[in-house]
Structure 1
Amino acid sequence: MVDAVHNTLPPPLLPQLLAPLRRRWWLMPLMMVVITALVLVKLNREPTMWTAQIEMFPAPAAAGVAPRRGIAGIAAQAGGGLAALAGSLGGGDAAPPFRYFLDGLSTPEVAARLAEDPVIMHQIFGGEWNPETRQWEEPHGLLRILGKTLFGALGLPAFAWTPPDAERLQAYIDDAVNVRRSVKSPLVTITFDHWDRAFAASFLNRLVATADAELRATNAARTAANIAYLSERLAATPQSDARESLVAALAEEERSAMLSAAELPYAAEPFAPASVGRWPSRPRPLPLLVAGLIAGLLIGAALAVWLDRRRPPAPLPVIA
């Protein structure tokens, strides 16, 4: 009786799950080989990307600028409408130059200055430059044709191709340059990826230098205008109290002009020039190969279970 009850119990669950894998064990190594081969094909076709990075911190000269200085300080003291102009004149609660530097890496002015260099434009938009005709040409790849067709089918606007210019370079910088801020210190890391290892570092150096120079030029122009205005008001103001305020404001503007004229970084200073690591940042072969092996193993196991469930049922016994 006990033997009869024992024979009617269902078999353990684990052997049931492992049975399809034991019957079709060869599917797992087969799929591992297939997936690994696909990963190797992807690695061979994907271009090698290098990451250049540069660490920046606020320039000591600009970091020491007083929060209210020069003509902006006078505007803030006057109140009313003049106080509202204090921030735009460089005082009040205006952001420090280092913040403007970080936000200004992809401004139209910086992109326009970089777009004047043909070497930069040919490296970034190399797929659209024909060295034989020395002209920009619209790419005619399969993906572009499919994209136009899909946009037309969906009723979406398909923008016409335009030769690379400052506007396109600005969009490229905004997408390709990353800024990582530290929550513990004012240190900021700026990175840029490109397939040309040497160009990645040189472009990043050129970008930060151009952004800093643009801020320096803007500050120099504003300070020169403030100095001219204060000098004119000082010559036409005989009162002693007003003259003291004008003289103090003029001294602050002269100090700012000297900071702009110094041959040192104005808003941001690098610890060292941009550097590139010894190994490419993309693709990363080892993680991709490991992921391919694991994916092949799981796909093979799932395929073995699926094929086992699709087996035709055993024929019913024939009763004589």
Structure 2
Amino acid sequence: MGLDIVLRNWRRTALVAALCVLAAIVYLATATYKYRAEMRVMQAPTQTTSSSQQMNALSGIAAIAGISMSGSETDLLPLYVEGLRSLAVARELARDPVLMRALFPGEWDSQAGRWREPPASLPSRLKSGLRSALGAPMAKWRPPGERELRDFLVKNIEVETSTKAPLTLVYFEHPDRKFALDFLTRLDRATDNLLRNRAELRASASIRYLSGELTRVELAEHRAALVANLAEQEQRRMLIRSPLPYAVEVFDPPSVSNATVTPQPPIVLLGAGILGILIGIGWSVVDVMRDRRGR
């Protein structure tokens, strides 16, 4: 029965499918094609800053003195992943006006040399009209800054964790092939430097505190714990300041695809054709059911 309905209305189904494919062709002709820049990173090797024998010998004394003797490093890979799309990293990148103009070209007036509000698109106008009708507050346009860049990072930086190896894939898509590669490289450096600088500030603060404690603590056991922890923090700060990557190591350096990855014309056309066929079949079934009810 269902096959009979399809066969009787094949012209309608074919027409709907053709219209959907035509719409897909128009979309592909006007779409923005993007290249993909990607890299694979892994957790940087943990640096042990004090021997286990020394830690075991002094841990009890340090606990009495209220001093932390833990020499283990935090797993920095999750922090790195979150940092890629953080406001702190966006704030650092937003200091480069050339980069901001490249990321938000639709809002930069090169002739006037200033930012301008872009013309609202139809979806934006519909959304604004709906919010206005509901009495919701309307956000005013402002020149792109660190918060707009953070929103851009959240929407455009993708992260995938491998289930086969301890690797994390980070990728970014952009119409400009060279810019995609350069931006991903800068994002990686900015995120790693953010974590490195925060770790160095913490280590330096610990060194200042421990040095101050040494001037007032007189008990020999407590002084031994302070000296050991101070040496540990100083060694940790030296490792943080090394030229090696701090949070993660790059397993596969940033690279960019030779061809565009989105949109993919074969998939778009095939999907449009299948969608058109399904709409045509559904339309035919609804007509048949309506005719039966009319009888």
TM-score class normalised by the smaller sequence: 0.7 to 0.9
Matched to 1:47, the amino acid is T
Q: 2:264, 2:9 → 1: CA distance? A: 32
Alpha-carbon distance change, 309 to 266 in structure 1, aligned in 2, over 3 angstroms: closer
Q: Which residue of 2 aligns with 1:45?
A: 30
Answering whether residue 91 of structure 2 is matched by residue 136 of structure 1, we say: no
Mapping of 1:89-238 within 5 angstroms?
Answer: 91=70, 95-143=74-122, 144-238=124-218
Deviation at 1:31, TM superposition (A): 2.9
- Gap regions ≥5 residues in structure 2: none
Q: Deviations over 1:113-141 (max 9, x none)?
A: 10011222112211111111111111222
Identify if the C-alpha distance between structure 1 residues 75 and 267 changes in structure 2 by more than 3 Å, giving closer, same or farther: farther
1:293 and 2:273 equivalent? Answer: yes
% identical aligned pairs: 32
- Please state whether the residue corresponding to 1:167 is helix, strand or coil: helix
Letter in structure 2 aligned against 1:41: V
Larger Rg: 1
Distance in 2, matches of 1:188 and 1:66, equals 29
Q: Work out the CA distance in 2 between the residues paired with 1:114 and 1:75.
A: 45
Q: Tell me how many residue pairs correspond in the alignment.
A: 288
- The aligned amino acid for 1:128 is E
Matched residue SS, 2:84: coil
1:257 aligned partner, one-letter code: R
Kindly provide the amino acid, as one letter, of the partner of residue 135 in structure 1: R
Asked whether the equivalents of residues 49 and 71 of structure 2 are also in contact (C-alpha less than 8 Å), the reply is no
Larger deviation: 257-266 or 100-109?
A: 100-109
Using the size of structure 2 for normalisation, the TM-score is: 0.83
Deviation at 1:41, TM superposition (A): 0.6
1:273 aligned counterpart, secondary structure = strand
How big is the shift at 1:64? 4.4
Aligned CA distance change for structure 1 residues 92 and 311 (closer, same or farther; 3 Å): same
Mapped to 2, the partners of 1:261 and 1:96 lie a distance apart of: 18
Given candidates 239, 258, 264, the residue that maps to 1:259 is 239
Are the equivalent residues in 1 in contact too, given 2:43–2:77 (CA < 8 A)? yes
Q: Which residue of 2 aligns with 1:274?
A: 254
Q: Unpaired segments of 5 or more residues in structure 1?
A: 1-13, 313-320
Measure, in 2, the Cα distance between the counterparts of 1:307 and 1:97.
Answer: 60
C-alpha distance after superposition, 1:148-182 (max 9, x if no partner): 22211121111111111112111221222122223
Q: Which amino acid aligns with 1:131?
A: S
- Aligned counterparts of 2:51 and 2:34: Cα–Cα separation in 1: 43
- 2:39 corresponds in structure 1 to 54
| 1:30 counterpart letter in structure 2 | L
What's the C-alpha RMSD, in Å, of the aligned pairs? 3.2
* Letter matched to residue 110 of structure 1: V
Alpha-carbon distance in structure 1 between the residues aligned to 2:220 and 2:282: 91
Say which SS state the counterpart of residue 155 (structure 1) adopts: coil
